[in-house]
């Protein structure tokens, strides 16, 4: 450490008049909701800025995606029941960048922030980020209250990382306002996100 840096840190320490103990994390209770599914729906369409379509297990997944994106020419997915022009198990990253819509499966939905845990279940995970629009298929039974519960599920499950060692949380479309405080969608990933929520009721 340079002398000037030591001097700066020493001055900062000498200016501290009052110190506080770190909080006891064991005493902090994660947020819970009377109805996590309802909270997830609300946060998805408000805070996260995504679109949510409720479907049933008997619905035609392919028809719903086509209805949601009638102008899409290139759909990328390896999910059963989805007619796709690109398969992320065989397509290259360059090819996936041309996808109008990517369709992936979410494994955990989080009510407190509308995040969806998407483990890598395809060779090229770029489908999650390079597609212009992203569709996430999620079962309502897989929605938890908070990130604590989500990580507990991830740690307890061995299936998520059997073939690939990657997973990501996605909440709504990519957006940033770093440049001149102008909100831009699609700067780092999808411009729009649709959650297809499968409910048994």
HSE-up (13 A, CA, CB side) for residue 165: 0
For 30-198, give the CATH class. Answer: alpha beta
Using alpha carbons, select from 69, 200, 192, 103 the residue that is nearest to residue 142.
200
pTM: 0.84
d(CA 178, CA 24): 34
Q: What is the pLDDT of residues 132-188, one digit of tens each?
A: 999 999 999 999 999 999 999 999 988 888 889 999 999 988 877 777 777 777 677
d(CA 138, CA 148): 19
Strand pairing category for 116-119 and 167-170? antiparallel
Q: Name the DSSP letter for residue 191.
A: S
**3-state SS string for 87-143:** CCCCCCHHHHCCCCEEEEECCEEECCCCCEEEECCCCCCCHHHHCCEEEEEEEHHHE
CA angle, residues 152, 52, 60, in degrees to nearest 5: 100
Using alpha carbons, select from 185, 199, 191, 93 the residue that is nearest to residue 137.
199
Which bin fits 181, alpha (ψ -120 to 50), beta or left (φ > 0)? left
Using alpha carbons, select from 97, 74, 68, 103 the residue that is nearest to residue 86.
74
pLDDT at 15: 84
d(CA 187, CA 166): 22
Q: What is the pLDDT of residues 7-59, one digit of tens each?
A: 888 888 888 778 788 878 777 889 999 999 999 999 999 999 999 999 999 99
Q: For the chain, what are the domain ranges?
A: 30-198
């Amino acid at each position: 450490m340079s002398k000037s840096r030591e001097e700066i840190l020493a001055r900062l320490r000498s200016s501290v008049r009052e110190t506080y103990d770190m909080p006891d994390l064991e005493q902090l209770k994660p947020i819970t909701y009377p109805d996590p599914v309802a909270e997830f729906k609300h946060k998805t369409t408000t805070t996260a800025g995504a679109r949510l379509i409720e479907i049933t297990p008997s619905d035609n997944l392919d028809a719903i995606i086509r209805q949601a994106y009638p102008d899409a020419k290139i759909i990328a997915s390896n999910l059963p029941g989805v007619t796709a022009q690109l398969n992320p198990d065989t397509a290259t990253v360059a090819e996936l960048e041309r996808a109008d819509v990517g369709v992936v499966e979410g494994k955990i939905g989080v009510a407190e922030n509308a995040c969806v845990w998407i483990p890598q279940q395809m060779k090229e995970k770029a489908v999650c980020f390079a597609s212009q629009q992203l569709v996430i298929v999620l079962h309502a039974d897989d929605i938890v209250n908070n990130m604590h519960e989500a990580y507990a599920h991830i740690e307890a499950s061995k299936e998520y990382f059997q073939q690939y060692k990657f997973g990501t949380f996605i909440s709504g479309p990519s957006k940033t306002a770093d440049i001149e405080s102008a909100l831009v969608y699609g700067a780092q990933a999808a411009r729009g996100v649709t959650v297809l929520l499968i409910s048994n009721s």
